[in-house]
């Protein structure tokens, strides 16, 4: 797909981190961008800077997502690109044992469900509502109508201690990529998934510098945390290259996560 002012995009999680980097990179190509996020202040500010629109959307809610698409499409027409970056990071062991009292607790299922609801169900809700619009649009070059880009994580493949819920949510995003590509193939809609490694975003920024340095040292090459620009560069290529479809790509400097 040629990225220019004739194309519009929706980026979830676009108020921050990887989504923000992608929204900015798309806008720099002239693409009209709608940001779906719950952080209204940050989302409005990014949208204003890039000449896009902000839609206050909670990806866990059908009506909220539908209203977001209504607003985005009223402003920019049918989106051809849907990038899903909205997500949350959670951590809890399958069984935890309190150090002081020795009390044993099974995994909190409310936390497990919330993680899957945002990361997996939220991604499916947004991409399916987006695809439902894309299939009504005219075909572009190569018969293409649109492209979806999802965000899983290397934790879909090598989840660490405490990542059962997060890995389950991202493993679902990873696993559904091929069947969705097959579902949408006749419609000319592609889908690909990025599995980021350890990226420097607000999700990470709160972390102690020493821990960040230790994480960077674990990455074979380049030995630094990934950036929103690294992510955006791949996301844009996945949009541009019509022959990449149904693929899941690690973006991780060759790291394989250890158990902890």
Ligand X SMILES: NC(=O)c1ccc[n+]([C@@H]2O[C@H](COP(=O)([O-])OP(=O)(O)OC[C@H]3O[C@@H](n4cnc5c(N)ncnc54)[C@H](O)[C@@H]3O)[C@@H](O)[C@H]2O)c1
How many other CB atoms are there within 10 angstroms of residue 237's CB atom?
A: 13
Residue 97 burial (10 A CB sphere; 0-12, 13-18, 19+): exposed
Question: Is the CB of 19 or the CB of 133 nearer to ligand X?
Answer: 19
Nearer to ligand X, 61 or 183 (CB): 61
Spatial distance between the Cα atoms of 54 and 11, rounded to a whole number of angstroms:
10
Q: What is the C-alpha to C-alpha distance for residues 149 and 32, in angstroms, rounded to an integer?
A: 16
State the maximum Cα–Cα separation within the chain, in Å, rounded to a whole number.
Answer: 65
Of the two residues 154 and 184, which places its CB atom closer to ligand X in the complex?
Answer: 154
Would you list the DSSP string of 49-62?
A: HHT-EEEE--TT-H
Cross-strand bridge partners of residue 226 = 199
Chain contacts with ligand X (rule: CB under 6 A): 12-13, 15-19, 37-39, 57-60, 85-89, 118-119, 122, 151, 153, 196, 198-199, 201-204
Please give the Cα distance from 25 to 50 (Å, whole number).
9
Asked if 231 is an active-site residue, the reply is: no
Would you say the C-alpha torsion 240, 235, 255, 164 has a positive or negative sign?
A: negative
Residue 211, number of CB atoms within 10 A of its CB: 10
Catalytic site residue from 69, 166, 174, 231: 166
Q: What are phi and psi of 153, to 5 degrees?
A: -175, 155
Identify which of residues 187 and 230 has a Cβ nearer to ligand X in the complex.
230
Comparison of 43 and 133: residue with beta carbon closer to ligand X:
43
Residues designated as active site: 166
């Amino acid at each position: 797909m040629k990225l220019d002012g004739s194309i519009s995009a929706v980026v979830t999680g676009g108020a921050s981190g990887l989504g923000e980097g992608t929204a900015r990179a798309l806008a720099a190509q002239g693409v009209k961008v709608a940001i779906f996020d719950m952080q209204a202040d940050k989302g409005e500010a990014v949208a204003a800077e890039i000449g896009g629109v902000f839609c206050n959307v909670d990806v866990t809610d059908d009506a909220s997502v539908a209203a977001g698409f209504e607003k985005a499409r009223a402003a920019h027409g049918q989106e051809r690109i849907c990038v899903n970056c909205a997500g949350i990071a959670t951590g809890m062991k399958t069984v935890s044992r309190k150090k002081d009292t020795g009390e044993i607790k099974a995994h909190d299922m409310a936390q497990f469900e919330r993680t899957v609801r945002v990361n997996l169900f939220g991604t499916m809700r947004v991409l399916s509502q987006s695809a439902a619009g894309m299939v009504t649009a005219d075909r572009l070059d190569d018969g293409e109508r649109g492209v979806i880009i999802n965000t899983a994580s290397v934790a879909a493949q090598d989840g660490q201690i405490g990542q059962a819920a997060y890995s389950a949510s991202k493993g679902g995003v990873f696993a559904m990529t091929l069947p969705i590509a097959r579902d949408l193939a006749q419609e000319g809609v592609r889908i690909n998934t990025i599995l980021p490694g350890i990226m420097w975003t607000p999700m990470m920024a709160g972390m102690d510098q020493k821990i960040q340095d230790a994480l960077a040292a674990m990455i074979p090459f380049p030995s630094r945390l990934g950036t929103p620009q690294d992510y955006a560069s791949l996301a844009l290529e996945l949009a541009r290259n019509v022959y990449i479809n149904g693929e899941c790509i690690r973006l991780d400097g060759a790291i394989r996560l250890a158990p902890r």
